[in-house]
Amino acid sequence: MKGTIVKCLQDLVSSKFGKDKWEKSLESVGIQKNMSFLPTNENFKVKKLGPQQIEVIFS
């Protein structure tokens, strides 16, 4: 998954639900809350994002 997709997701979640929800959702899938995602790189950790993260955002 390209970093651009994750950056867009970060912007959306942070603006609609708050930065705290974004950070909690990252931690729920084992990614450090201060992890930076660059638009041009692929990162194996972003493949962990998905249903579990969504569950945290909407809780």
At residue 25, the pLDDT reads 86
- 43: confidence class by pLDDT, cuts 50, 70, 90: low
Instruction: Count CB atoms within 10 A of the CB of residue 16.
Output: 10
Instruction: Count CB atoms within 10 A of the CB of residue 52.
Output: 12
Domain ranges for the chain: 3-57
Q: Is the pLDDT of residue 26 over 90?
A: no
Tell me if 22 sits within 8 A of 13, measured CB to CB: yes
Choice between 27 and 50, residue whose per-residue pLDDT is larger: 27
Q: What value does the mean pLDDT take over residues 14-37? A: 87
